[in-house]
């Protein structure tokens, strides 16, 4: 078996999990998934980053404007997951996304947020490869996250052995922060500052980052 084939087989064990349920409360109630950047919807760009970065499958968690996202977005091959409690925050969407991976055979989930258009394929691939570095047998126990000038961010890779614990602690907009703090010694940080920009699109002022040339 060639090295390329081995890489393909092991990356198929990693599912991309895109959290795209946000309602854009500080953006006048515009669902973040439907914002546009460089000719594509943010949800389309983020899903493609996960796919191009090496994830074998991509699950997209929807909430605000889910029907409009389904109607407008081009997401070929993606599994669309509804988060019925998306208004409770990122934690609810993370729980829904992890639950959707049950029975898929995925050994790890690589999580990306829809409102960070500056994070693309290269950061996804870097975090994924760090998770695969110890081999397929170690992947279910992996905890890997991107850092930017020493600050933790996304993408984040969660091995399957951690999913239940993360889901139990995921509340509000905290996501997996509490769980990761409890397991500080197990977390592998990966510097992605040279390949990605982690800024969020949260407010009207942030929309300038979506203008042509940015």
Digit-coded pLDDT (tens) for 177-212: 899 999 999 999 999 999 999 998 876 666 666 665
Residues of the chain with pLDDT under 50: 1-8, 213
CB-count exposure of residue 5 (10 Å: 0-12, 13-18, 19+): exposed
What's the pLDDT score for residue 1?
36
Average pLDDT over the chain, rounded to an integer: 89
80 token code pair: 């669309």
* Residue 133, number of CB atoms within 10 A of its CB: 12
- Nearest by Cα to 173 from 108, 103, 88, 59: 88
Q: Which residue has the tokens 């998306």?
A: 86
72 token code pair: 């407008």
Rounded CA-CA distance 65/69 in Å is 6
Rounded CA-CA distance 24/79 in Å is 23
Rounded CA-CA distance 136/108 in Å is 10
What's the pLDDT score for residue 5?
43
């Amino acid at each position: 078996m060639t090295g390329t084939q081995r890489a393909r087989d092991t990356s198929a064990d990693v599912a991309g999990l895109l959290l795209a349920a946000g309602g854009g409360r500080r953006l006048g109630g515009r669902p973040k998934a439907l914002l546009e950047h460089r000719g594509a919807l943010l949800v389309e760009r983020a899903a493609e980053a996960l796919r191009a970065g090496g994830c074998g499958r991509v699950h997209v968690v929807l909430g605000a404007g889910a029907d409009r996202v389904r109607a407008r977005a081009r997401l070929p091959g993606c599994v669309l997951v509804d988060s019925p409690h998306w208004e409770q925050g990122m934690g609810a969407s993370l729980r829904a996304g992890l639950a959707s991976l049950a029975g898929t055979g995925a050994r790890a989930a690589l999580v990306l947020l829809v409102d960070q258009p500056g994070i693309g394929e290269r950061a996804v691939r870097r975090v994924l490869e760090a998770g695969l570095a110890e081999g397929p047998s170690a992947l279910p126990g992996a905890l890997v996250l991107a850092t930017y000038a020493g600050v933790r961010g996304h993408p984040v890779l969660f091995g399957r052995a951690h999913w239940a614990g993360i889901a139990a602690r995921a509340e509000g907009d905290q996501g997996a922060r509490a769980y990761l703090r409890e397991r500080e010694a197990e977390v592998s940080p990966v510097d992605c500052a040279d390949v990605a920009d982690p800024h969020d699109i949260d407010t009207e002022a942030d929309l300038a980052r979506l203008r042509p040339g940015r």
